[in-house]
A and B are shown apart, each in its own frame.
Chain A
């Protein structure tokens, strides 16, 4: 009876621990879907996914998008000027040509601000990013994805992602939850069981 009670108690804590870990794992997905700046155009990734680079073109991609009319405007950048008004003039702008996955090349103007987001921007522009960039154990997780905007002359301007405080807070909350559950398990184990003792 006593061992059954202990088993049930431990199971309760284990379920909580597993839930926290699952939350930590799926949290990157939530963050990616949100985007660092409140969502990108089209609501999906610009780099590193099958939507823009690589793979086959999805003819129904437009039909699945939300209607542009109605509702309130999301905080997306309409042009490079919008971005620069918010984050200032880039330190360096570099033109580069990248394979667009359809047999051609696309020209990009990558704007650097000298922050860590620049390094991650290059990674995203390579087309594929390592899986661990989506985990909280890599700094890229705490940065939004680069912003791609249509520039003049058919070029596309790429601005680096910015630090996402929300991601950091979510991860800290998850970590705190896991630490709390582990501490509670240790604490409950230390607690003495007087159920069969003469004292109680």
Chain B
């Protein structure tokens, strides 16, 4: 079982990803697509200590040379954040999801897509420099619940 925690306020620059309680740095993309029918896509793209970019199955692959960083948030800052925790072995049947340390149930699907593109800060003269790495930064995090009356609802996580 591996534990993935995402602590955020809905902004990518204020997002910390923990794997087994250690904050990971230099993540390029995190993609989670889980649903009750057995879909289990959990992909992590990150830069390792050698500077190379690796793409791995988050809960099943061996994550070599992860860059571990100091915790981003203090306890006070963490009070304003939402903390999503996923404990899983890579199988939907053995997946446990917590929100702010409280169990979530009735989940139909979970979709998280966090992605960053290289951002260059060229200061004032950035206007005159060509940015060759334009792309899209993505922050999508939703859970679809089945309500007790049989209806479904989609809620943002952070």
B146 beta carbon closer than 8 Å to chain A? no
In the complex, what residues of B have CB within 8 A of residue A180's CB?
Answer: 124
Interface string of A186-200 (1 = CB under 8 A from B): 011001111011111
Among A8-16, A83-91, A121-129, the one that faces the other chain is: A8-16
In the complex, what residues of A have CB within 8 A of residue B116's CB?
Answer: 194, 199-200
Known A197-B15, A199-B12: A191·B27 in contact at CB below 8 Å: no
In the complex, what residues of A have CB within 8 A of residue B28's CB?
Answer: 199
B17 beta carbon closer than 8 Å to chain A? yes
Contact A181 B17 (CB under 8 A): no
In the complex, what residues of B have CB within 8 A of residue A196's CB?
Answer: 69-70, 72
In the complex, what residues of A have CB within 8 A of residue B70's CB?
Answer: 196
In the complex, what residues of A have CB within 8 A of residue B15's CB?
Answer: 197-199
In the bound assembly, the distance between CA atoms of A101 and B47 in angstroms comes to 81
In the complex, what residues of B have CB within 8 A of residue A191's CB?
Answer: 119, 121
Distance (whole angstroms) from the CB of B80 to the closest CB of chain A = 15
In the complex, what residues of A have CB within 8 A of residue B124's CB?
Answer: 12-13, 16, 180-181, 184, 188
Which residue of chain A lies nearest to B29 when distances are taken between CB atoms in the complex? A199
- Which one, A12, A187, A194, A198, contacts B119 given CB within 8 A? A194
Distance (whole angstroms) from the CB of A24 to the closest CB of chain B = 18
Contact B13 A194 (CB under 8 A): yes
The count of residues in chain B whose C-beta lies closer than 8 Å to any C-beta of chain A is 24
- Which one, B12, B16, B23, contacts A192 given CB within 8 A? B12
Distance (whole angstroms) from the CB of A31 to the closest CB of chain B = 27
In the bound assembly, the distance between CA atoms of A52 and B16 in angstroms comes to 73
Contact A198 B121 (CB under 8 A): no
Contact A200 B123 (CB under 8 A): no
Contact B123 A188 (CB under 8 A): yes
Contact B26 A200 (CB under 8 A): yes
B11 beta carbon closer than 8 Å to chain A? yes
Contact B16 A198 (CB under 8 A): yes
Contact A197 B12 (CB under 8 A): yes
A: residues with CB less than 8 A from B are: 9, 12-13, 16, 180-181, 184, 187-188, 191-194, 196-200
- 17 new A-B pairs (CB below 8 Å) besides A197-B12, A199-B17, A199-B27? A12-B124, A184-B123, A184-B124, A184-B126, A192-B119, A193-B13, A196-B70, A197-B13, A198-B15, A198-B17, A198-B26, A198-B27, A198-B69, A199-B13, A199-B28, A199-B114, A200-B26
B: residues with CB less than 8 A from A are: 11-17, 23-28, 69-70, 72, 114, 116, 119, 121, 123-124, 126-127
